[in-house]
Amino acid sequence: MLKVYNTLTRKKEVFHPINESEVTVYSCGPTVYNFSHIGNCRSFIFADILRRYLKYKGYKVKHVRNLTDVDDKTIKGSMNEHVSLREFTEKYTKLFFEDMKTLNVENVEYNPKATEHIKEMVELIKKLLEKGYAYKTDDGIYFKISKFKNYGKLAHLDLEGLKSGATVKTDEYDKENVSDFALWKFWDEADGNVFWETEIGKGRPGWHIECSAMSTKYLGETIDLHTGGVDLIFPHHQNEIAQSEAANDKKFVNYWMHCEHLLVDGKKMSKSLGNFYTLRDVLAKGYSAKAVRYLLLSMSYRQQLNFTFEALEASDNAIKRLKDFILKLRSIKTDNENKNVESLIKKVEKQFEKAMDDDLNTSEALAAVFDFMKEINVLMMDNKIGTTNAGEILRVMNDFDGVLGVLDFEEEKIDIDIEKMIQQREEARKKRDFATADRIRDELKQKGIVLEDTPQGVRWKKG
């Protein structure tokens, strides 16, 4: 059975969904004011692995990943570029979805925008006001943390430091101090023309309220899983719990899962250290998106991952080994079926699932896949694999790819001219015209096509 590490209880727990046939998942999405950096990408890939494995286990998944398109950063960015908030955030929203597609992150069922759910947020805030959990000041509406029993349970805070009545006016929070937080900010000149006229006043939402409102709308008052980076445990996720449970009198989330920080060359990523990279920065250096994805999922999501370009090179080589393995299987044309292949497949399936059931242990799952490849490669070298065997091996590798998203299963196509050149070379070899065969091989290599002569015939791949 699947076990996940629950941040709330600080232990691994057997996963029991509310509904046996459908799992509800909420993942904190991007604030759309800039390009996605590789630390963001790790968190989104982790949520994607969780989603994919739940589907592998047979669950239907209902997944929300929000888009924060109104806060201090987006407002400031739009003002600096002298464009509307909508125009500014639409640009970065589009870039975000492009990055997710590049990284082979699956589309989720809902990508709600904060600006399109003001009504739901206002209704939630009204409920908190009526229940006495919120209060108005001259500059906004705040959540009274002293009113909520067990505030701090997710972050395991020492509640002696509570500063009920002390308020935070910006969207940037001091993680060392616990203060009442803004649910709604009344309009002032700093927000320019960004405001909504509502029953609770002219203004805009605070950062935290959007997730509670949108999670409830799309997934219900209690959900199975909530994901995000460890930097969101406090205050963001803690405040989500407080406002959601205070409003609905129900447990908000059953399992909280948090992805650890990404380091770059052993240090925290920062522009001042010159080790800050967006996904597009890395791709511009010539690395493949699959290698990036492989590296970011190669270690357990609960361990800090050290991103280096040496590690990225190793990931690129791992992808090439996987790709070559698949190409070899597809080139098999013999009927030398091997009875041992079935037992090898059952063994690797069991190992893969055991690893993934253990709190998504992707490093152990990958190790099982590569051990399986070694065993099959030995059989292929001895010509002891037939076409039926190859088909079954490809099936199980495709199943694993449904979870990992790094094994290149799309059959690459070549144009007719290239295909003709490969055929001409084969004909030259049959006539023992090796000079012509070598010349065509060199010409193909210049076009990015690498040929391999195997006992099963010629095999090509893009170099």
pLDDT category at 176 given cuts 50, 70, 90 is: low
Residue 168 vs residue 365, higher pLDDT:
365
What total of structural domains would you count in the chain? 3
Assess if residue 316 is contained within a domain. Answer: yes
Q: Assign residue 229 the CATH number of its domain.
A: 3.40.50.620
Tokens of 383: 């010509």
Look at residue 434 in the predicted model and tell me its pLDDT. Answer: 87
Do 236 and 116 belong together in one domain?
yes
Look at residue 409 in the predicted model and tell me its pLDDT. Answer: 61
Helix/strand/coil percentages in the chain, nearest 5: 50, 20, 30
Q: Are 128 and 143 in contact (CB under 8 A)?
A: yes
d(CA 376, CA 341): 8
Query: What type of residue is 146?
Result: S
Predicted confidence (pLDDT) at residue 100 exceeds the cutoff of 80: yes
d(CA 108, CA 64): 6
Percent of the chain residues past pLDDT 90, beyond the cut = 78
Angle at 56 between CA 54 and CA 62, to 5 degrees: 40
Look at residue 430 in the predicted model and tell me its pLDDT. Answer: 85
Look at residue 427 in the predicted model and tell me its pLDDT. Answer: 85
Q: Are 376 and 385 in contact (CB under 8 A)?
A: yes
Strands 178-186 and 140-143: antiparallel
Which strands form 22-27's sheet, in the order they lie side by side? 60-65, 22-27, 223-229, 253-259
Look at residue 444 in the predicted model and tell me its pLDDT. Answer: 82
Do 106 and 221 belong together in one domain?
yes
d(CA 117, CA 68): 11
The residue with tokens 């009274």 is: 144
Do 384 and 441 belong together in one domain?
no
Do 217 and 96 belong together in one domain?
yes
Do 324 and 231 belong together in one domain?
no
d(CA 1, CA 6): 15
Q: Which of 336, 260, 265, 271 is nearest to 299 (CA)?
A: 260
Q: What is the DSSP string of 255-304?
A: EEEEEPPEEETTEE--GGGT---BHHHHHHTT--HHHHHHHHHSS-TTS-
pLDDT tens digits along 281-325: 999 999 999 999 999 999 999 999 999 999 999 999 999 999 999
In DSSP terms, 4 is beta-bridged to 13
The string over 192-212, giving b where at least 16 C-beta atoms fall within 10 Å of a residue's C-beta and e elsewhere, is: eebbbebebbebbbbbbbbbb
Mean pLDDT of the residues in the chain: 92
Assess if residue 390 is contained within a domain. Answer: yes
Predicted confidence (pLDDT) at residue 50 exceeds the cutoff of 70: yes
Assess if residue 179 is contained within a domain. Answer: no
pLDDT tens digits along 397-452: 999 999 999 986 655 556 777 777 877 888 888 888 889 888 988 888 887 778 77
Look at residue 164 in the predicted model and tell me its pLDDT. Answer: 61
**First-to-last C-alpha distance (Å) of the chain:** 42
Residue 353 belongs to domain spanning = 309-404
pLDDT tens digits along 122-153: 999 999 999 999 999 999 999 999 999 989 99
Assess if residue 362 is contained within a domain. Answer: yes
pTM here? 0.89
Do 423 and 341 belong together in one domain?
no
Assess if residue 177 is contained within a domain. Answer: no
pLDDT tens digits along 262-288: 999 999 998 899 999 999 999 999 999
In DSSP terms, 258 is beta-bridged to 228
Q: Are 315 and 295 in contact (CB under 8 A)?
A: yes
Strands 253-259 and 223-229: parallel
d(CA 4, CA 357): 8
Do 48 and 125 belong together in one domain?
yes
Query: What type of residue is 410?
Result: E
Q: What is the DSSP string of 177-223?
A: -EEEEEEEEE--GGGTT--EEETTEEEEE-SSHHHHHHHHHHH-SSE
Q: Assign residue 391 the CATH number of its domain.
A: 1.20.120.640
Percent of the chain residues past pLDDT 70, beyond the cut = 93
Assess if residue 280 is contained within a domain. Answer: no
